[in-house]
Amino acid sequence: MLTTEILPNIDRPTSMRAIVLAKASEQIRLSDVQLPLPECDEHELLVKVEYVGLNPIDAHFAKTGFSQWQYPHILGLDAVGIVVQAKKGLFPNIGDRVMWHANIGQQGVLSEYAKVPNFAVSVVPANVMASEAATLPCAGMTALIALDKLQIVQGDTILIEAGAGAVGQFAIQFAKERGADVFTTAAKHNHKLVKKLGADAIFDYHDKKLCQKIRLALGPQGFDAVLDSVGGDSTMRNIELMRFCGRIACLRPLPNIDQELMFRKAPNIGIVSLAGAWLANSLCAQQKMSFMSNQLLDALAKGSIQTPDITLIEFNAEQISRALHTQVNGGFTGKQVVKIFA
């Protein structure tokens, strides 16, 4: 029978602080509470959480709720921390710093401790800062999945919407690494940033002549691929800008697409959903997420990618509520990261 090991020199309490949502609402009112430590099964690790990266999806579901949530619900999906308890022989080892993207259907990670299946985590290299690692899971994996669905290869032309957003920043860097010609949209004050990341052509998404200017720069052939992170009318505009049988990866729900446009362009449409790996109970997809996490951490450790600028948020309900409202309002460049332990 396996025995449980606990990291020495860690004063592990019986309860923990957590930031919870009593109910979903437009106001996003969070509370700071004390809860019992999670109980782990034989394949789960108990992690002392150091940093949590905030994402637009956190703010979205704080407003609308999620069908599988039980309340009060702990928010947060992207975490980095130290393994403090695990069954003997389980990898990663006690004392390792790990990073993961949590199961959206279960309690989140905005708490002093969290549990996670051992196969869903990646060990953070010694030369990667924990706060930087916390920016990677949701945005970085979303970018990688989208580029894989788009089958980006050398010489492709790709439009990456919202290039200054966290997903956009990672997508630009990885698309350039694969040899693509990258077009992107961003507010004017972010043009210098996305140019530095590798974008070949940049357009102001506020420009009323956006389509005409893109066509003038692109030529008549249309994009080979589009990473559509905006949705709505932008999805139909992007399909119009694609070549016949072009490829589009959508991060938002699909709008009602005009049938004539569908017949004329015959787009290959892919849907990106990190949450699906958990909701579909797909062990293969969950393990693939760990593989992608390793890829992201390796790229960061080698210096081949850079993370968005980090804004540290205090671990309290008021500050995190404000940060989530910032996510909802949009126009935020960089990544908000909650510092829990460090």
The sheet carrying 157-160 orders its strands as 201-204, 181-186, 157-160, 223-228, 242-250, 268-271
Q: What's the longest Cα–Cα distance across the chain?
A: 68
273 Cα distance to chain centroid: 10
CB 337 within 8 A of CB 314: no
- Cis peptide bond upstream of 92, omega within 30: yes
Is residue 94 scored above 90 in pLDDT? yes
List of residues 6+ apart from 188 with CB closer than 8 A: 204, 206
Q: How far apart are CA 228 and CA 226, in angstroms?
A: 6
Give the model's pLDDT for residue 287.
87
Q: Is the pLDDT of residue 59 over 60?
A: yes
Report in angstroms the alpha-carbon separations of 138 from 213, 237, 241. 32, 26, 27
Whether the predicted pLDDT of 10 surpasses 70: no
At 204-238, the pLDDT tens digits run: 999 999 999 999 999 989 999 999 999 999 999 99
Indicate the pLDDT class of residue 2, thresholds 50, 70 and 90.
very low
Least confident piece of the model among 5-9, 36-40, 204-208, 313-317 = 5-9
- Which pLDDT score is estimated for 329? 86
pLDDT in tens, 104-150: 999 999 999 999 999 999 999 999 999 999 999 999 999 999 999 99
Where do the domains of the chain lie, and which CATH numbers do they carry?
Answer: 4-135+307-339 (3.90.180.10), 139-271 (3.40.50.720)
For residue 108, report the phi and psi dihedrals to the nearest 5 degrees.
-85, -160
Check pLDDT > 90 for residue 172: yes
Q: What is the mean pLDDT of residues 244-269?
A: 96
How far is 108 from 78, CA to CA, in rounded Å? Answer: 9
pLDDT of 4 = 58
pLDDT band at 1 (very low <50, low <70, confident <90, very high): very low
242-270 mean pLDDT: 96
215, two tokens: 């066509």
